[in-house]
Chain A
Amino acid sequence: SQQGEEDPQALSIQEGENATMNCSYKTSINNLQWYRQNSGRGLVHLILIRSNEREKHSGRLRVTLDTSKKSSSLLITASRAADTASYFCATAPYGGAQKLVFGQGTRLTINP
């Protein structure tokens, strides 16, 4: 079952611009996580935000969580060519088994 839905499916911007990706989910969660995947590679964890948190920062990353709307956003500021990758949100359902449910991902391309 795919709980998370990312929007947009693909995003192409110029280097230096900010990139915003959104994730919506359907059920109550313990936490929501964002991962990055370079083409043909494994996923790398970026940030985890708990259900009682509203915003979290890590370097050039800013994540927000709105549990009333069941949505999250990932903002990458001052984008770089190396940020080109697919970005996935993953939710840990509340009260469920200890596993994550991944969305379909946003394919981000940073043009030099």
Chain B
Amino acid sequence: DGGITQSPKYLFRKEGQNVTLSCEQNLNHDAMYWYRQDPGQGLRLIYYSQIVNDFQKGDIAEGYSVSREKKESFPLTVTSAQKNPTAFYLCASSSQGAGEQFFGPGTRLTVL
């Protein structure tokens, strides 16, 4: 059963805490992406990775960090430096960077 999974579905964070969002894919895709979506808005690119052990900043990378140690996994850490982290976070993968992207179900992060 191929696909892309994200966990947890809901996440609550206290101010000043770092949290890590998980993203796993078994589609054998080289490229993976993290997006942030605010209510009623489009997607904004946080980080992306086109190959293992390499990643690039997107449009809103400040306050976030990622790693790409395995092809299947692309975790996102929301650090305490991110001033307004409450949002819906979406992970995606694709076999080629400019092609169709497959999305996970998302993680809704709320800062208490």
Contacts and interface: CB of A to CB of B under 8 A. Distances in A.
Candidate in A40, A98, A103 with the most chain B CB atoms within 10 angstroms: A98
Interface of A: 1-2, 4, 30-31, 33, 40-45, 48, 88, 90, 92, 97-105, 107
A6 B35 CA distance: 19
Contact of A48 (B40, B56, B100, B102): B100
Contact of A102 (B43, B97, B100): B43
Nearest to B98: A92
Interface string B85-112: 0001010100011111111111010000
B42 A103 contact: yes
A41 B43 contact: no
Interface string B36-67: 00001111110010100000101100000000
A99 B47 CA distance: 10
Contact of B100 (A45, A98, A103): A45
Contacts of B44: 2, 102
A33 B90 CA distance: 17
Candidate in B58, B90, B100, B102 with the most chain A CB atoms within 10 angstroms: B100
A42 B98 contact: no
B109 to A, nearest CB: 13
Contacts of A102: 35, 42-44
